[in-house]
């Protein structure tokens, strides 16, 4: 059991209100936040920690990471040893935690094994909300075969990010296979993507009947469907069929925005991944064809964020970085911060993300009853969002469930 800690002289970042309250005391007990206020009394035996006015905020939530993707060469990933990939994932998970992410959602690759390893405290890492393998049609975004190959090996132990399934019965079974492992959502490919060998960005993937069958299965299990999509055509098909979150969404338009609002759906932009791929994707194994597709979606993504934000669409933080580019996970803050207010960027990585995960009130807020996932930050991220992007300089403490994971209480 974690110790009882009283943070004093804390500037508490209220993520819902988008404001900072100085001079607060925050009591952490039993892994949870027990009390917040200027006059919270210190219980006997509590360790008092004077923050000297530093910012105390909830741990960050990244709604789109791939813990298995230690390389950008996703086609080769399935040929690697799952043991090797798991060890690589454990290293990256610890680094994510040290960047300030106390929770991540993995829409492709992470399975119940890596989830349990973190939950049991075997390895340090963010809390993981996983989808198992992402579902794709033949020739879709996770069909990694080159054109000349017809066989594929999608044994569940291969560390690929996804699997191929077709037809209403086939996709239903594939969804049930993910859900039976305890998946928190089912991820599907609604359009082509950048890092796949044979599909087009502007394709739509899966028939409407297939999408509806997957949504049916997820909802039957009280889970939801996350859909990868770029174009308005692909996004709108997904939203109309009941997909709850759209991943990327770079080429959305006004008609998509209306559907997001109508269905109270979520958009998870992942701008930093296109930004990094343009800079160093080739060095990380992306082909010339992949890079050409990347260019198509990069600029459009910035406009999409502006359009969706202006209309009040639920926005969640996503990075989607592959390989060594994952070190840039925090750059999404500065990229978004150049377009929309800092308070809204922070909401996307805290309260709104928590709502997507079904963890409202427990994650993403400094409030009584919430998990004690807390960051101590030197600086005011509302005044300058870039404060969050430089953890080496500004991130003084990472607490998760009341346990110190990075930095010290002294
Ligand atoms: Zn992804």
**Mean pLDDT computed over 238-258:** 98
**Mean pLDDT computed over 194-219:** 91
Residue with the two structure tokens 């209309």: 311
pLDDT, tens only, 303-326? 999 999 999 999 999 999 998 899
Task: Kindly give the distance from the C-alpha atom of residue 194 to the centroid of ligand 1, in angstroms, as a whole number.
Answer: 10
Beta-carbon contacts of residue 198 (< 8 Å; ≥ 6 apart): 139, 143, 145, 146, 147
Task: Kindly give the distance from the C-alpha atom of residue 185 to the centroid of ligand 1, in angstroms, as a whole number.
Answer: 14
Task: Kindly give the distance from the C-alpha atom of residue 160 to the centroid of ligand 1, in angstroms, as a whole number.
Answer: 12
Whether residue 67 contacts residue 101, with contact meaning beta carbons closer than 8 Å, is answered with no
Distance CA(86)–CA(92), nearest Å, equals: 10
Does 185 score more than 60 pLDDT?
Answer: yes
Task: Kindly give the distance from the C-alpha atom of residue 410 to the centroid of ligand 1, in angstroms, as a whole number.
Answer: 38
Q: How confident is the model at residue 74 (pLDDT cuts 50, 70, 90)?
A: confident
**Mean pLDDT computed over 257-266:** 98
Task: Kindly give the distance from the C-alpha atom of residue 60 to the centroid of ligand 1, in angstroms, as a whole number.
Answer: 18
pLDDT of residue 1: 56
Task: Kindly give the distance from the C-alpha atom of residue 237 to the centroid of ligand 1, in angstroms, as a whole number.
Answer: 19
Task: Kindly give the distance from the C-alpha atom of residue 83 to the centroid of ligand 1, in angstroms, as a whole number.
Answer: 22
Q: Report which of 261, 355, 269, 356 is spatially closest to residue 305, judged by C-alpha positions.
A: 269
Instruction: For the chain, report the end-to-end CA distance as a whole number of angstroms.
Output: 20
Work out the percent of the chain whose per-residue pLDDT is above 90: 83
DSSP-derived pairing of the beta strands 5-14 and 19-29: antiparallel
Q: What is the mean pLDDT of the chain?
A: 95
Q: How confident is the model at residue 169 (pLDDT cuts 50, 70, 90)?
A: very high
**Mean pLDDT computed over 204-208:** 97
Q: How confident is the model at residue 158 (pLDDT cuts 50, 70, 90)?
A: confident
Task: Kindly give the distance from the C-alpha atom of residue 151 to the centroid of ligand 1, in angstroms, as a whole number.
Answer: 24
Task: Kindly give the distance from the C-alpha atom of residue 131 to the centroid of ligand 1, in angstroms, as a whole number.
Answer: 11
Task: Kindly give the distance from the C-alpha atom of residue 59 to the centroid of ligand 1, in angstroms, as a whole number.
Answer: 22
Work out the percent of the chain whose per-residue pLDDT is above 70: 99
Domains and CATH numbers, the chain: 5-59+363-407 (2.30.40.10), 61-329 (3.20.20.140)
**Mean pLDDT computed over 166-192:** 97
Task: Kindly give the distance from the C-alpha atom of residue 206 to the centroid of ligand 1, in angstroms, as a whole number.
Answer: 18
Burial of 198 (0-12, 13-18, 19+ CB in 10 A): middle
Task: Kindly give the distance from the C-alpha atom of residue 8 to the centroid of ligand 1, in angstroms, as a whole number.
Answer: 40
pLDDT, tens only, 125-140? 999 999 999 999 999 9
Does 247 score more than 80 pLDDT?
Answer: yes
**Mean pLDDT computed over 184-206:** 89
Task: Kindly give the distance from the C-alpha atom of residue 17 to the centroid of ligand 1, in angstroms, as a whole number.
Answer: 30
Q: Which residues neighbour ligand 1 (ion) by CB within 5 Å?
A: 320
Q: Quickly list DSSP for 288-347.
A: HHHHHHHHHHHHHHHHHHHHHHHHT-EE-------GGGGGGTTHHHHHHHTTS-HHHHHH
Whether residue 159 contacts residue 171, with contact meaning beta carbons closer than 8 Å, is answered with no
Task: Kindly give the distance from the C-alpha atom of residue 39 to the centroid of ligand 1, in angstroms, as a whole number.
Answer: 45
pLDDT of residue 241: 98
């Amino acid at each position: 059991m974690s110790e009882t800690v009283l943070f004093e002289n804390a500037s508490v970042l209220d993520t819902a209100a988008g404001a900072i309250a100085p001079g607060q005391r925050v009591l952490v007990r039993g892994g949870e936040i027990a009390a917040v206020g200027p006059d919270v009394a210190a219980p006997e035996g509590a360790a008092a920690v004077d923050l000297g006015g530093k910012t105390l905020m909830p741990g960050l939530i990244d709604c789109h990471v791939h813990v298995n993707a230690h390389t950008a060469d996703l086609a080769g990933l399935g040929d690697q040893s799952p043991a090797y990939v798991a060890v690589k994932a454990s290293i990256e998970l610890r680094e994510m935690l040290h960047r300030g992410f106390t929770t991540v959602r993995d829409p492709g690759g992470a399975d119940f094994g890596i989830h349990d390893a973190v939950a049991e405290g075997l390895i340090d890492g963010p809390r993981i909300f996983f989808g198992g393998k992402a579902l794709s049609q033949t020739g879709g975004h996770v069909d990694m075969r080159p054109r000349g190959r017809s066989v594929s090996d999608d044994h569940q132990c291969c560390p690929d990010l996804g699997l191929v399934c077709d037809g209403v019965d086939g996709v239903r079974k594939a969804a049930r296979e993910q859900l039976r492992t305890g998946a928190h959502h089912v991820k599907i490919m609604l359009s082509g993507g950048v890092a796949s060998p044979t599909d087009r960005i502007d394709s739509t993937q899966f028939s409407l009947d297939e999408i509806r069958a997957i949504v049916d299965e997820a909802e039957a299990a009280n889970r939801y469907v996350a859909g990868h999509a770029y174009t308005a055509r692909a996004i709108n098909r997904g939203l109309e069929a009941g997909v709850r979150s759209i991943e990327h969404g770079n080429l959305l338009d006004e008609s998509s925005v209306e559907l997001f609002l109508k269905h109270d759906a979520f958009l998870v932009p992942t701008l930093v991944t296109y930004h990094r791929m343009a800079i160093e994707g080739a060095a990380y194994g992306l082909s010339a064809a992949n890079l050409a597709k990347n260019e198509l979606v990069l600029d459009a993504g910035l406009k999409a964020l502006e359009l969706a934000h202006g209309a009040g669409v639920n926005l969640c933080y996503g990075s989607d970085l592959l390989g060594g580019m994952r070190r840039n996970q925090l750059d999404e803050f500065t990229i978004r911060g150049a377009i929309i207010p800092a308070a809204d960027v922070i909401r996307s990585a805290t309260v709104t993300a928590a709502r997507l995960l079904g963890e409202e009130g427990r994650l993403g807020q400094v409030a009584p009853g919430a998990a004690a996932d807390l960051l101590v930050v030197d600086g005011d991220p509302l005044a300058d969002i870039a404060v969050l992007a430089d953890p080496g300089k500004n991130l003084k403490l990472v607490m998760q469930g009341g346990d110190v994971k990075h930095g010290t209480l002294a």
